[in-house]
Chains A and B, each alone.
Chain A
């Protein structure tokens, strides 16, 4: 026989003003199996909690129903109180008679009647509560960071700093990401490489960090605390251990005409190359598509000159299997394709470039040694037009509906730096809105306009026509003047939208992490859990979650690291015990549940059953991993046989509540 205690809270006058608390106590005391019922002004106060604890002990209660504020408010408090009195915390039910009763109803009789019904429903549910014990699972104390840009680097460094081993997987031959290609950073204008490369070196030197460069994640299995990840180390054809990064192979390589990705194709590299001088790891890599030796076995020059004997044309991809407790997605972004906007003549003129290309053209380590020259003829440009929102805020199929966030600031930076270095230039910026929320951001933009004389024009560019004389005829609107402008420009810079890495969706599928329609990873909660994926154990760092600038990326990377450290510092993970469970005697093994599980928490086992006629039979049955299950209940409805049920919200409990309400 169950013994239920009912506790009705006045919440001062919050409840008592519209609900006759005494009447509720009297009515609920008459319910069968209720052995104790009391009210108290503040049930959540220490003395209120003591009332509950004493009653549990004195009446040997098997269940507790508290009629009070929303369970979202104090369920945890009351559960803890019950636990301290020796009652399993999951035997506590809360009837919400404040937010969902006293605060919305004015008529006292009506509100009291409803409070009684809500109390009865809670009792009906409490009678079917089972003591639940949260499961535990071990934590592998190693983290994986996918992506070696500034987001990944910072996350890895912070985790490593806390004493946990971290692996970085980077698909390119070097870490560094986009930040390595940027010239200067806003709003301070310090040199990007100067602040990034020390961090890259730190990564290489930190004992807790391993870098898998030129590698990709092949598969992910497992769950929070114990993921198993297969990493494909692509063949570099260079022995990582032996290579000293001297660069001799690169010098001697006869294939000289490979467009250099790092400089966005403005200059060439060799078939064997090191992406840039400060690359980490500084190990050469052979481009198998261009190397003569790999293509047709004719050359082998690099192998002959390499004193370390590091060249190995027979190298193949290698799959490494590693175990992790947490995984960080830091896959960053790419520049969206501007060729889809024919009006900007990007494909027609070499002098229409993207902002990232502009970065390389102004970078001292870039193809022009930092001198701004027109890509077409290498001449000094005099009139430069910057166009904002190219592809951003565009709801058409080819565009991105979101604001790329960083373009206003880097365009201001570019315009300012151009005017500073080349005062003879006229610089125009066509903007729709200038968005500068950020510390010292607006001041920075205003400086560009006020001190450096950048012409900011509110309006868009309609069309660019390359002229025979090498100039670009820019046709634009000036909305303030209400006139159509024509500018004859020497160089046009497009602030192209940024988009998530093309690899992100494939990765998200492997991680069972969710994504939005733009392929940005979804956070567990947009406000309160911005660096976690809804999938436990998966964390988000940097632009893969949404557009952001470097300082934001670094702070998110740190926040992400803190979450990872928090996870890895635990020896065991305690789960939410309100998870699904399958009755294997009823399970058909049909896979319906696994098909709807957003967490991949359900696997199937072939299990041997003793049949009623004393034979045995092997049947496929579902098994829920309680560490992965988050307790949504989607599987319980998908299951036709009713084998799947959810602890804490069982079928019978919900139906008992329905019955009590409709009684």
Chain B
């Protein structure tokens, strides 16, 4: 697949359809891949990579890259879940579509080095894909991990292998994946007592260091100036000086992206403390689906998201009190 992408990128660069290629660049090890812009066939040849560790969602970079004056079109490779983020950004007029050539690429799930480490494997020097397994070379000998065990949580509960918005597809178009496991964890939390839920989230959110990685990586958090960085907003915070501020930041962030979050899972991927932030966003997605009808952000470039629309017969907020209290 990597070679196919490279070849297509070279072709489009050569034809002058695009002037730059947004893709993934090799790192020191197998897993530390960096998003990068390639401007020539040589750069592509040397550094371009596409393998099971290219989890980074490239769509957000397009806000900047597609608005660079006089730079022409940029080619971007979008995995299915990235394409939803791209669709949502187009819908919100955040990306100049005319400057983007989006190529949809298939994805069989992306691995997470920390999942491998969690199996007690450390000193990882290199990782090779061997059939159903990863062969991991380490300072302390070789180890074997099944690919499935190394997949990121978001890939185990993938919502779709089908692309939302793109100009061209490489490989076969996939299909939607039934939502049978995506909301299991949310449902498990919902079934807890309020006290248990409170303890759970305290335990998770108390680790927050407010590094803003979740926000800065999030394609829905594309604000020119975030309320949390804007002293005039009255809620700006630079550190979680109190547990309240941890709650405030994460509630408001989830609320601001509610109806816009495509569940790409980048927030949880980048969290240095491994806080399952996607469970907050997924809660909103689950509620929206249940209360206002199934909705998938980013699927379409037009229409209104559920937070900026309504029906006269919507449920009352008291539904929250009634739920789970049969």
Contacts and interface: CB of A to CB of B under 8 A. Distances in A.
Contact of B222 (A588, A604, A617, A642): A588
A620 B2 CA distance: 36
Contacts of A638: 307-308
Contacts of B256: 640
A655 B307 CA distance: 23
Chain A contact patch, size range: 20 to 34
Interface stretch (B202-210, B224-232, B262-270, B281-289): B224-232
B69 A589 contact: no
Contacts of A588: 92, 94, 222-224
Contacts of A589: 92-94
Interface string B249-293: 000000011001000000000000000000000000000000000
Contact of B308 (A595, A616, A620): A595
B309 interface: yes
Pick the most buried of B67, B227, B257: most chain A CB atoms within 10 A of its CB.
B227
B317 interface: no
A587 B224 contact: yes
Contacts of A643: 224-225
Interface in A577-616: 585-592, 595-596, 604, 615-616
Interface in B33-73: 67, 69
B93 A586 contact: no
B308 A596 contact: yes
Contacts of B307: 592, 638
B234 interface: yes
A586 B230 contact: yes
Interface in B6-47: none
B281 to A, nearest CB: 14
A632 to B, nearest CB: 14
A618 B67 CA distance: 8
B308 A641 contact: no
Contacts of A517: 312
B224 A641 contact: yes
Given A517-B312, A595-B309, A641 B226 contact: yes
B227 A641 contact: yes
Contacts of A591: 92-93
A651 interface: yes
Interface in B295-311: 304-305, 307-309
A651 B225 contact: no
A585 B225 contact: yes
A518 to B, nearest CB: 12
Chain B contact patch, size range: 20 to 34
A117 B176 CA distance: 56
B223 A641 contact: yes
B321 interface: no
Contact of A651 (B224, B233, B309): B233
A651 B234 contact: yes
Interface in B66-109: 67, 69, 92-94
Interface in A625-652: 638, 640-643, 651-652
Contacts, number: 63
Contacts of B226: 641
Interface in B187-243: 222-227, 230, 232-234
Pick the most buried of B94, B234, B312: most chain A CB atoms within 10 A of its CB.
B234
Contact of A642 (B227, B305, B309): B227
A586 B226 CA distance: 8
Contacts of B305: 592, 595
B67 A642 contact: no
B224 A590 contact: no
Nearest to B225: A586
Pick the most buried of A595, A638, A652, A655: most chain B CB atoms within 10 A of its CB.
A595
Contacts of A586: 223-225, 230
A655 B234 contact: yes
A620 B308 CA distance: 19
Contacts of B225: 585-586, 641-643
A29 to B, nearest CB: 27
Contact of A640 (B93, B223, B232, B304): B223
B92 A590 contact: yes
Contacts of A615: 69
Nearest to A620: B93
B244 to A, nearest CB: 13
Nearest to B222: A588
A623 B226 CA distance: 19
B72 to A, nearest CB: 16
A620 B92 CA distance: 10
B100 to A, nearest CB: 16
B118 to A, nearest CB: 34
Nearest to B230: A642
Nearest to A621: B224
A595 B309 CA distance: 8
A590 B89 CA distance: 8
A595 B304 contact: yes
A592 B255 CA distance: 13
A611 to B, nearest CB: 10
Contacts of A617: 67, 69
Pick the most buried of A587, A588, A592, A642: most chain B CB atoms within 10 A of its CB.
A642
Contacts of A640: 223, 227, 256-257, 260
B308 A592 contact: yes
Nearest to A638: B308
Contacts of B304: 595
A179 B227 CA distance: 59
A462 to B, nearest CB: 33
18 contacts: A586-B223, A587-B224, A588-B222, A589-B92, A592-B308, A595-B305, A595-B309, A616-B69, A638-B307, A640-B256, A641-B227, A642-B225, A642-B232, A642-B233, A643-B224, A651-B233, A651-B234, A652-B234
Given A589-B92, A591-B92, 8 more contacts: A586-B225, A587-B224, A588-B222, A588-B224, A592-B305, A595-B304, A618-B67, A643-B225
The 3 nearest A-B residue pairs measured at CB: A595-B308, A641-B223, A590-B92
